Amino acid sequence: MSSAFPLLRSASPVPEAERAAVLAAPGFGRHFTDHMASALWTPQAGWHNRQVTAVRPFSLHPASSVLHYAQEVFEGLKAYRHADGSIWLFRPERNAQRFIRSAGRMGLPPLPEDDFLASIEALVRADEAWVPVATTQESLYLRPFMFASEPFLGVRPAEQVTYAVIASPAQSYFASARGGVTLWVSTAYTRAGQGGTGAAKCGGNYGAGVAAQVEAERHGCDQVLYLDGLDEEAFVEEAGTMNLFLVTSRGELVTPALGTILDGVTRDTVLALATEFDLTPVERPVPFRELCVGIADGTVTEVFAAGTAAVITPVLGIKSTRRTLTVADGEPGKQTQALRDRVLGIQYGRSEDTHGWLRHVR
Ligand code: COI
């Protein structure tokens, strides 16, 4: 079965001047390119109708399962333009593999890795003019997703599933002028439980996070810090849309172990790069109390969050109903900056890709 996604070029692409204006200040997730990739799945035909077309609205029956039971999974990855004009993806195979795992958790069919990669590459090639020239960290953010499009109100695996990829030129996810974020420790909401959907990249996890995000903003914070329970005896999970890391005075780079959290591509990248910075990577349960004591006594020297959209974002402070903590001197940490520079350096072709993580597209 061929994984080719043939291109039916848009008859009305965005005019060049308009595209240039968007690329000059893209923001995050607000503007979309001319094309989208898509495919359909049914039990009889498997994956079929692979194509890249003009970006267009879906026509969905009101009974489509996704609208009722949220059978949806997605991914996030970026295409980077290097100084010589070439375009690259960063570890897209890991996104493809996680997409398969997420789909399995939501009763959706696996999209073969070849299809995932072919759809993304076909879309990036069709919309290559939309890949920004990077001045700081501009890129083309790619959003593959899959949902149950069968009109059926019973709860069971859907017999019609739609896959699509859209693309959006993007700058940094956080517009914060302070060079980092503050986190609100939610004691009203958790993100996941044992056996739940925490490790899946499904829309429902993020939809359920909106109330917690509103709570965080109400308390003057940028993002939520989720614990695995509703009191301060609980363990640290994730920071909103990102994985969390601590640097300790003993030279460890500590992050919560996998299980109920997202197996982040940037998380894995940072762990793999740790030893270059004389840091020992440690994945283990992290009690919230240990984080608080460590920040207060200085044994936690830096905290940062990592994710595709947010790259590596320094955490400057943590606030809860009972405490307000400033991490070190409230400025982005040195190791955080160094890891961030190294990750961005590889992604933009400025630093040697010693792990072979880049995939050439154009
Ligand atoms: C990403 O980092 O790509 C994400 O999926 C976060 C997103 C919800 C903005």
Which domains, from first to last, does the chain contain?
16-170 (3.30.470.10), 181-347 (3.20.10.10)
Q: Give the H/E segment covering residue 137.
A: none
Q: Give me the torsion for CA of 289, 292, 296, 302, rounded to 10°.
A: 130
- Segments of the chain scoring below 50 in pLDDT: none
CB 242 within 8 Å of CB 307: yes
| CB atoms closer than 10 angstroms to residue 292 | 18
SS3 174: coil
Tokens of 300: 């936690």
Q: What is the pLDDT of residue 297?
A: 97
State the amino acid at position 145 in one-letter form.
F
SS3 112: coil
Q: What is the pLDDT of residue 177?
A: 58
Pocket of ligand 1 (CB under 6 A): 76, 206, 241, 307-309
Exposed/middle/buried for residue 268 (C-beta within 10 Å: 0-12, 13-18, 19+)? middle
Q: What is the pLDDT of residue 154?
A: 97
CA distances from 334 to 6, 150, 243, 324, 340 (A): 46, 51, 19, 22, 10
SS3 158: coil
Q: What is the pLDDT of residue 172?
A: 82
CA distances from 265 to 10, 110, 272, 309, 332 (A): 32, 19, 11, 11, 22
- Minimal CA–CA distance to 231: which of 289, 291, 294? 289
Q: β-pairing, 181-185 with 223-227?
A: parallel
Q: Give the H/E segment covering residue 297.
A: helix 288-297
- C-alpha of residue 206 to centroid of ligand 1, in Å: 9
Beta bridge partners of 89: 79, 359
Mean pLDDT of the chain: 96
- Minimal CA–CA distance to 194: which of 239, 255, 242, 261? 261
- C-alpha of residue 12 to centroid of ligand 1, in Å: 29
Output the residue whose Cα is nearest ligand 1's atom 8. 241
Residue to probe by mutation, ligand 1, list 137, 241, 266, 268, most atoms within 8 Å of CB = 241
Q: What is the pLDDT of residue 199?
A: 97
Q: What is the pLDDT of residue 1?
A: 57
